[in-house]
Chains A and B, each alone.
Chain A
Amino acid sequence: MPLLDVKGLKTYFYTNRGVVKAVDGASFTVNENEIFCLVGETGCGKSVTALSIMRLIFPPGKILSGKALYKEEDLLKIPESEMQKIRGREISMVFQNPMNSLNPVFTIGYQISEAPTVHFNLSKKEAWKRTTDLIRDVKITDADTRAKCYPHVLSGGMRQRTMMAMMLSCNPNLLIADEPTTSLDVTIQAQILDLLIEIKKKRRMSVILITHNFGLVAEFGDRVAVMYCGKVVEIGDVTTIFRNPLHPYTRGLLRCLPIGYKRKSKLGFIPGTLPSPIDTPSGCSFHPRCEHSTKSCKLREPELVEYEKNHFVACHLYER
């Protein structure tokens, strides 16, 4: 029984220029106590998928259809008041940009204490205790004074730690980390990820790690889903996918990785560009860039099928 089961999720944005099919039928599952990676190019719908699970899609965006089963409840169907109790408490989310994701006019202590105060009705004193403990948990020294700081006096890395403290404040079962290290410099990136992994182990929670960095996937991930044009095209254990990538897109992506011991070979690339999300290609949306493209690829959309145990792929090459 997976912790989260997303089925056929469709989230569209109705813009003046047309309908942007940001997520167009994505399906995947997240198991308990695992790091599940969502990879793909910029604009493939990773973030929107995460925001849809949290039901944080605002107009002109709309979640059209699909299911997101969490503890046998469909997150997309339950009333907003129920969803409020899940956000921050059961499922929480760390965003890309810690600079703008913290409210500039409140101290970080106040912002960290907010969620537990609301979710657990804590007294001021209890909330403060919890807050300083959390600040210590994310390895910020001098918790009592730091708690009284405003976000702008903190460094980027500290802000992201604050963000994590905030999102861990109610002990969620699932943490969605949307490219948590993109805006940080490399040494800080490593620290933040190590911290994330450490906390994940300590608290035995699941993490959805959204990234476009296969290096991170290989290092930290348990399972991985590759997204293209709002769909999941391949999903499986990280070791399986790296050993035996099936989808031409996944193979293309992996060919693009610089690998240390093969210096002589040229770095691979995927021909063409990501299609416009307003006007996605018919059939398999990857077919214009695919070297194995056939007639049926243009006509019919491939289904996600189980190629081997726990290894799913959506490609006509593997349909039986």
Chain B
Amino acid sequence: MELLFNIVLIVFFAISYVYVGATMPKSSDLELGAEQWPQLLITALIILLFVNIYNIYKNTPAEKRHFKSITGISIPAITKSKLFWGIVIIFAYAFALEPFGFILATIVMFAFYAVLTGQKKPSVVALNALLITIGIYFVFQRGLGIMLPRGLGFLRDIALFLESL
């Protein structure tokens, strides 16, 4: 997996190298241009990433040096891990904030993440999700004047009603 991570980085930086060269104006001889500084960094990065790949190869026992370490990644095993679902919940939460608003999105995310990290009692999950969400909402919205996402449609009306309290 580490090898794959390094390869992905090399590919990304190689694309960035070409992209910045193609999209920025060519600089004159009297300056260090806008494209040259990132290209300098990318060159150093790619060299170091290759050194790192060599280090990984060198430090891997001979019997384990095969392509199976890259191609043998088990998708079902990944989707069964708590980490994978944790990431999914966090991203879903980030996407849901705008349409569903802070309160609903947070209560739902809270419930899912608490269950994922081992909370088994539904009453504890529900109570904490509700109290912490409302508590944080009022501290920031009312106490500190920070506007949080209201959501769309009737959720927006509810948020506006809460703000008017």
A binds B: no
Q: Which residues of B contact A (CB under 8 A)?
A: none
